[in-house]
Amino acid sequence: MELRDHYGAFQARGAEVVALAVASLEAVEGVRTSVGAPFPILADPDHRVAEMYGVYNLLGDGLAAPAVFVLKNGSIRWSYVGQSPTDRPPVAEILAHLEE
């Protein structure tokens, strides 16, 4: 898990990583523990947040598409929405957008 492995680089830039899963709290806690995520993973069982960000069911699987949003002062400054379940931007690209 690339975000987990580079979590310190985000913290060094004063950024926080938060993941979101269209799943129950119990399922999310199980995943967080099993992958050793040092950042919070939020449960969105009713997919309200995923819908607000426009990423719910984009891939036809009833889940949130993999996406990254860089927010600053409450505004989305950059976003990336994956086109497949494994499509995620490299950490270096995300970190570069934190500097903008």
22-44 confidence digits (pLDDT tens): 999 999 999 999 999 999 999 99
Which CATH number among 3.40.30.10, 3.30.1050.10, 3.40.50.720, 3.40.50.620 corresponds to the domain 2-94? Answer: 3.40.30.10
pLDDT tens per residue, range 40-99 = 999 999 999 999 999 999 999 999 999 999 998 889 999 999 999 999 999 999 999 998
The C-alpha atoms of residue 96 and residue 86 are separated, in whole angstroms, by: 21
50 contacts 44 by C-beta, under 8 angstroms: yes
The C-alpha atoms of residue 100 and residue 24 are separated, in whole angstroms, by: 35
How high is the pLDDT of residue 1? 78
How high is the pLDDT of residue 48? 98
